[in-house]
Amino acid sequence: MTDSGRTYSRGEFLSFLLGKAPKKSRGIPLPYITDKGRAQEQCPDCGAPCLTVCPQRIVYKKDEEVPRLIFETAGCTFCKECALACERGVLSPEQEGPITAHIHLDFTRCLAWQNTLCQSCREACPEEAIFFEGLRNPNIRKDVCTRCGLCVPVCPVSCMEITVSK
């Protein structure tokens, strides 16, 4: 499906058909954060170059807060651009690993769990952390999942959620 040259994914198409409204998210910490305390001190008055360099446009900063990832339109590709742009050393490209957050699949809303053929989340996952029992019933290999959020915006019913680790 295209409109003005843009290609839409199956998840975006199903979202449109179902009238899905994007969820409001508070966001989660950026993946390359070196120290949360240092981020609280250094980020509020920073010019936030991490926002403008993100090719996915998923880094947001509200007023004088710490920048956050919001997966409403895309996920993190771990390109390191935000870390390379950080002038205060709060983010470091050497700080590798999964994003510190929780991932949750709401089985009560998931189309596949409701016997509707949908594998949008699996198709979006570069780590193959989402697996299906047959053609339905998706599950997440949490030890493989990087919490990149690529599965979140493609879900037509918003059943994938990534939240801040407490």
DSSP string, 62-127: -TTS--EE--SS-------HHHHH-SSSSB-TT--S--SEEEEE-TTT-TGGGT----HHHHH-TT
Q: What is the pLDDT of residue 24?
A: 52
Domain(s) of CATH 3.30.70.20: residues in the chain: 10-19+98-164
Helix/strand/coil for 134? coil
What pLDDT, on the 0 to 100 scale, is given for residue 9? 56
Q: pTM for the whole thing?
A: 0.80
Looking at residue 162, its pLDDT comes to 93
Please state which CATH number belongs to domain 28-85: 3.30.70
Amino acid at 85: A
The fold of 10-19+98-164 is Alpha-Beta Plaits (3.30.70)
What tokens appear for 75 in the block?
């996920």
Tell me the pairing of strands 130-133 and 59-60.
unpaired
pLDDT in tens, the chain (166 residues): 444 555 555 555 555 555 554 445 578 989 999 888 899 999 988 889 999 999 999 999 987 789 999 999 999 999 999 999 999 999 999 987 789 899 999 999 999 999 999 999 999 999 999 999 887 899 999 999 999 999 999 999 999 999 987 6
